[in-house]
């Protein structure tokens, strides 16, 4: 991550990889002073979150960069934006594989 004149930028390729579950990799891109965080989540075909993903303490913002994301209820193709309010939950999964941009404005 590099900082210059108040701007912060990073690349997905340079972000460390954290294996969340088999076939699911999280790459941290940014963390703000107030706890806000931005990530890229890479999901291989036929991968699934183990358990239920509960959004706490705040909401989750999701942008589907590529592939098709399923929240356990419906499919969201590339280009979709999802706002999941604090306290809501879902079971992230994909049959095709997908890449997501995740933003947590409250951490």
How high is the pLDDT of residue 67? 98
pLDDT, residue 2, reads 54
Query: Which of 72 and 5 is assigned the larger pLDDT?
Result: 72
Arithmetic mean of pLDDT over the chain: 92
Which residues have C-beta within 8 Å of that of residue 21, sequence separation ≥ 6? 47, 48, 49, 50
Percentage of the chain lying above the pLDDT 90 cut: 81
pLDDT per position as a tens digit, 77-91: 999 999 999 999 999
**What confidence tier does 4 reach under pLDDT thresholds 50, 70, 90?**
low
Distance, in Å, from the CA atom of 48 to the CA atom of 1, rounded to the nearest integer, reads 29
Domains of the chain: 17-104 (2.60.120.10)
Burial class (CB in 10 A: 0-12, 13-18, 19+), 30: middle
pTM for the full predicted model: 0.90
């Amino acid at each position: 991550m590099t900082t210059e004149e108040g701007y912060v930028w990073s690349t997905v390729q340079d972000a460390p990889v954290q294996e969340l579950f088999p076939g699911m990799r999280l790459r941290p891109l940014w963390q703000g002073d107030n706890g806000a965080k931005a990530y890229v989540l890479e999901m291989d075909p036929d991968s699934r979150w183990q358990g239920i993903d509960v959004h706490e303490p705040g909401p989750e913002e999701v942008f589907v960069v590529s592939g098709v994301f399923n929240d356990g209820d419906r499919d969201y193709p590339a280009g979709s934006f999802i706002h999941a309010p604090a306290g809501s939950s879902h079971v992230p999964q994909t049959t095709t594989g997908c890449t997501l941009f995740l933003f947590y404005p409250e951490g």
